[in-house]
Structure 1
């Protein structure tokens, strides 16, 4: 189980930003970046995701845009490279070589078209899944913050009530001392178990 740490240092934020940008550049998801940083810093991926979205991301918007452009460029280079090689997938057949050549034109698929299809299919699914997980992480972080906020409100109310009780006790004591000095200089008081001052009989 990972230990929760409250303070994020500049080094932690920098590691988070570098890891997220690297994953985006390489075509991975932000969620995988949060998991990697969480393992390194001994934090949950949800905490890393919340920190990225709430604080760090604002400072790296331009870098994030550049990383996405680099990812697209690398995809294009791979696509062009595959097209130039023109690799074909041909179904095997037991027919003669002539029949095989005749059917090859209609049955052949380029490797690049297959890769294109799989990348588009896979990336859309990955993007949806990563966004769904990020949303879930943000919801969990929000729920945790709301719980903490309610606890702090309860503590504040208790402190306020204690403060008002102390002020009342001090006010009563001040009045008793003032009136006691006027009536009898030798009057003494003792504190009851409930916090009230009681006049001691002579």
Structure 2
């Protein structure tokens, strides 16, 4: 019996939920089937997976969901076209001998096409395929352009970060120099103050001298 997890969702769990759900959308399956598959893979209930998808993960993949829905519509259209075209194409005889693959000549192939395969259906299929290819090419170019812009922004930010780091280092160096100069100035001022106090004390002490009769006289 598989233990149902009760811990918090990790980024890997969210990524698995997004990938599986988008795949089911593209293939025309239901989201409930996707939630059940995810639940089996990460040991959670389908209800928990559905709640996580609707409350958090789906909001991060709105653009991818729209692309998946478009791909689902195109897949459905191609299936319909193939359903009409493939059975008719199978009427064209192709058989294999022991030495080589033998195919009908152009005349018999044209006759078979006239009998079964609709040229208009083939043309429509090829045109739709061309449109799909062009859409995918535009999407690829858009993503390449967006990636290039992101790389340029990242490069600019990296250069700006290096510049700011150099400025911070210079400011720290200047601060250290100023701080050392300030400490030196404080020491000089303290020494000067002490010398001034000593000089004043020496001037305030009375001085005496002895006269010719041996008496002390105060000197002004």
The TM-score with structure 2 as length reference comes to 0.41
User: Larger RCO: Structure 1 or Structure 2 (Cα < 8 Å, ≥ 6 residues apart)?
Assistant: 1
Give me the TM-score of the superposition, normalised by structure 1. Answer: 0.44
Of structures 1 and 2, the larger Rg is shown by 2
